[in-house]
Amino acid sequence: MSQLTVKDHNRDAIGFKYIYPVISRRSGGLSIGINVNTNNACNWACVYCQVPDLSIGSAPELDLELLAKELAEFLQDVLQGDFYDRFEIEQDKRVIKDIALSGNGEPTSVNNFYLATKTIIDVVEQANIPAPFQYVLITNGSLIHKPDVQKGLQLFNQHKGHVWFKVDSATGAGRRLINHTAISTEQQQNNLILSAELCKTWVQTCVLSYAGHEKEGLLTKVEQAAYLALLKYIIQKVNIQGVMLYSVARPSLQAQANYISSVKEEQLEEFAKNIRLLGLTVKVTV
């Protein structure tokens, strides 16, 4: 049994199909991950992604019964068993911070997203997890226009859930370079507004260095101006919780891995200052 740390997000750590534990640097404790993309398929292909053999596609059919069974068993192990000891979790991290719909692809691509969220919430509510903890959806936001996804977000909102909405760039060139997606700025804005209308939403942004593309990175004046303009436009329409800024913490398993690297904390903090001038809360994680 190996120690679980912020740099180890192994989906197979406990041998379950859908459930995996993470010590989250952003949450500051145990995050219980729900991986519905067990086929390692996503509709985006971010250059910093740690998923092996990533392919373009959507999540496979979900076994709701198995999902419920695994989640119930793992929660019992954490709350009543010796999980923390077996994985040598540091004492100050021995608390369930969130239940996160995340995993090896875009979770909102699963069929019956609403039923998936309902199943998760039903199991968790029966487990009586000590407060505070929260539900989190980690998403690229590209499918939030789907009615079933919106229904799921409304359910999340009823249970004080949060959406972490990926915005790594506010320009078409930046999104094509970093995320390998052709989604337009207009669609990105519309989906972010819709997300914030349905559920409490944070913008999450990965800032990195990309060798050979220094003129296209998020820290350039053009990219920063576009990013700040997007946020200014959004907050004129809806309330968002704030921005999560972070950089690369674990090795990418994509073809571009040798070209990307983390940025310095000072660079993140300097960028954060400009975002805070808009009146937004910014969390910086390295």
Decide: 30 and 89 in contact? Cβ < 8 Å: yes
Q: Which residues have a Cβ under 8 Å from the Cβ of 246 and sit 6 or more positions away?
A: 25, 26, 204, 205, 206, 207, 268, 284, 285, 286
Class of domain 19-207: alpha beta
Could you count the other beta carbons within 10 Å of the beta carbon of residue 106?
24
**Higher pLDDT, residue 18 or 3:** 18
Q: What is the pLDDT of residue 68?
A: 98
β-bridge pairing 96-102 and 29-35: parallel
Peptide bond into 132 cis (omega under 30): yes
95-145 pLDDT per residue, tens? 999 999 988 999 999 999 999 999 999 999 999 998 889 999 999 999 999
Q: Give me the count of residues in the chain.
A: 286
Q: What is the pLDDT of residue 272?
A: 96
Q: What is the pLDDT of residue 10?
A: 54
DSSP 3-state percent helix, strand, coil across the chain (nearest 5): 40, 20, 40
Nearest to 254 by CA among 12, 106, 55, 35: 55
**In the predicted model, is pLDDT for residue 216 greater than 70?**
no
